[in-house]
């Protein structure tokens, strides 16, 4: 059981590194977790808004909210 847990944790880190495009740059798993938490929260807010509301997810201000709380490296 312990081997499976370690392999799963290391796989998650490797997938996050690939997704972020990290080579020799510093990498923070906490930033990845914060990014996905913010994305999930904002997507939930967007789904609750009334149908007539127009919002663009590619707006720079929305993308800035996705990374809110990430560590500035």
User: What confidence tens digit (pLDDT) does each residue in 33-45 have?
Assistant: 888 888 888 888 8
* Number of separate domains in the chain: 1
Question: What are the strands, taking DSSP E only, across the chain?
Answer: none
Task: Report if residue 41 sits inside a domain.
Answer: yes
Q: Cβ neighbours of residue 56 under 8 Å, at least 6 residues apart?
A: 62
Task: Report if residue 17 sits inside a domain.
Answer: no
pLDDT (average), residues 5-13: 92
What is the value of pTM for the model shown? 0.62
Report d(CA 48, CA 29) in Å as an integer: 29
Task: Report if residue 18 sits inside a domain.
Answer: no
Task: Report if residue 44 sits inside a domain.
Answer: yes
Max CA distance (Å), the chain: 51
Task: Report if residue 9 sits inside a domain.
Answer: no
Share above pLDDT 90 across residues of the chain, in percent, rounded to a whole number: 14
Report d(CA 53, CA 50) in Å as an integer: 6
Choice among 4-8, 12-16, 42-46 with the minimum mean pLDDT: 42-46
Task: Report if residue 20 sits inside a domain.
Answer: no
Q: Which domain holds residue 30?
A: 25-73
Contact 55, 46 (CB under 8 A): yes
């Amino acid at each position: 059981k312990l081997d499976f847990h370690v392999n799963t944790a290391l796989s998650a880190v490797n997938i996050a590194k690939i997704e972020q495009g990290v080579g020799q740059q510093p990498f923070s798993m906490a930033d990845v977790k914060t990014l996905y938490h913010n994305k999930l929260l904002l997507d939930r807010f967007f789904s609750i808004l009334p149908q007539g509301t127009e919002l663009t997810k590619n707006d720079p201000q929305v993308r800035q909210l996705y990374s809110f709380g990430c560590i500035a490296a």
